[in-house]
Amino acid sequence: MIGKVITCKAAVAWKAKEPLSIETVEVAPPSKGEVRIKILATGVCHTDAYTLDGCDPEGIFPVILGHEGGGIVESVGEGVTSFQAGDHVIPLYIPQCYECKFCKNPKTNLCQKVRVTQGKGLMPDGTTRFTCNGQKLFHFMGCSTFSEYTVVAEISLCKVSSKAPLDKVCLLGCGISTGYGAALNTAKVEPGSTVAIWGLGGVGLAVAMGCRAAGAKRIIGVDINKDKFEQAKVFGVTEFLNPKDHERPIEQVLVEITDGGVDYSFECIGNVHCMRAALEACHKGWGVSVIIGVAGAGQEISTKPFQLVTGRTWKGTAFGGWKSRDSVPKLVEDYMSKKLMVDEFVTFEMPLEKINEAFHVMHEGRSLRTVIKM
């Protein structure tokens, strides 16, 4: 099908707050610097739901959502040198161009090369590759993995081992890498540390896995759903706190049971009150709190400045600080050599036709991750 339009199935979001609808779509060939991929599997993430619910100020419809995918290169556009047909790949919603000032700075992973067009749901040349019934469909986060075929920029893609199961390692395209990297790259947790994690969903459990890998001694999970506790042990959580079981604010309880506060805390919910509690549960003089959860549009955080004056640090991270094209293939290798868990995050597998059910179980808090198999 090189150079030809491909007709295939995709889950289309026609409007905010409406279920996705399975449609036959046309996927144009990749233009210069682009790659067309056959998607084999994709995770469903809160960011997809956030956009579908109309919460994302950048959200544009109609759109093909999805950004946690794995697939095989079908064809490449003009000038593409780093991929060829048959390569196993993971799309990357934060690209790595190696040229912009962000890519050249070791302190950040936030490549800005295609930021403006990606935010508008367009390919870097300002157009789209998807149509349905003659209507243009927008791209999402530079990935659009809820489609049997998609087109992404060469800089928004990495090649991974062909031995790795794509229906598992697709999850390294977002949630797992984000949490794991927040512990290792952003917080830089040290051996012997005491940490607290707000929210024991997929992201929070990936943080726990990173803290355990870094040698943390106490990993305290904070969640209002007690059903999350048993499963969390598998990922390294050693103690549990349910804010509902305590009269006092949970940060006070933490300060008391940790002799002054935790060395590191992580917010993996997207709740601005939990963000404040996570900061204030940190130890005076050195405690570091990392924000990972995405709060609703327009929400603001607050605390007393004295919290920072007395030596606590407030940080945030996107995609766990990983420089994407350099790091995701290595994370896949680490999974293959059993250094990091991925299989354990898969709660359900479903065909594309059942994708609305995947959103449903996520909203009900019943899934860490659902993998859609095409």
Contacts of 9 (CB under 8 A, 6+ apart): 22, 23, 24, 25, 147, 148, 352, 374
What's the DSSP call for residue 160? -
Q: How far apart are CA 59 and CA 178, in angstroms?
A: 22
Contacts of 230 (CB under 8 A, 6+ apart): none
Backbone angles phi, psi at 345, to 5 degrees: -85, -15
Binding mask 88-117 for ligand APR (x = CB under 6 A): ------------------------------
Q: How far apart are CA 171 and CA 177, in angstroms?
A: 8
Q: Which two tokens stand for residue 293?
A: 């959860």
Q: How far apart are CA 62 and CA 136, in angstroms?
A: 8
- If one asks whether residue 110 binds Zn ion (CB under 5 A), the answer comes out as no
Q: Has 274 been annotated as catalytic?
A: no
Contacts of 14 (CB under 8 A, 6+ apart): 21, 61, 62
Q: How far apart are CA 280 and CA 264, in angstroms?
A: 11
Q: For ligand APR, which residue of 34, 48, 154, 223 counts as binding (CB under 6 A)? A: 223
38/46 with CB nearer ligand APR? 46
Q: How far apart are CA 180 and CA 188, in angstroms?
A: 11
- If one asks whether residue 274 binds ligand APR (CB under 6 A), the answer comes out as yes
**Residues 160-189, interacting with ligand APR (CB under 6 A):** 175
What's the DSSP call for residue 13? B
From the list ligand APR, Zn ion, none, pick the one residue 173 interacts with, judged by a Cβ distance below 5 to 8 Å according to partner type: none
95/236 with CB nearer Zn ion? 95
49/336 with CB nearer ligand APR? 49
Q: For ligand APR, which residue of 214, 269, 346, 372 counts as binding (CB under 6 A)? A: 269
Q: How far apart are CA 42 and CA 46, in angstroms?
A: 13
What's the DSSP call for residue 99? -
From the list ligand APR, Zn ion, none, pick the one residue 29 interacts with, judged by a Cβ distance below 5 to 8 Å according to partner type: none
Stretch that binds ligand APR, among 15-23, 73-81, 201-209, 233-241 (CB under 6 A): 201-209
Q: For ligand APR, which residue of 55, 224, 350, 361 counts as binding (CB under 6 A)? A: 224
75/178 with CB nearer ligand APR? 178
Q: Has 55 been annotated as catalytic?
A: no
Q: For Zn ion, which residue of 22, 72, 97, 295 counts as binding (CB under 5 A)? A: 97
Least Å from the CB of residue 329 to Zn ion:
17
What's the DSSP call for residue 63? B
Q: For ligand APR, which residue of 94, 123, 137, 292 counts as binding (CB under 6 A)? A: 292
Q: Which residues are catalytic?
A: 45-47, 67-68, 97, 100, 103, 111, 115, 174, 369
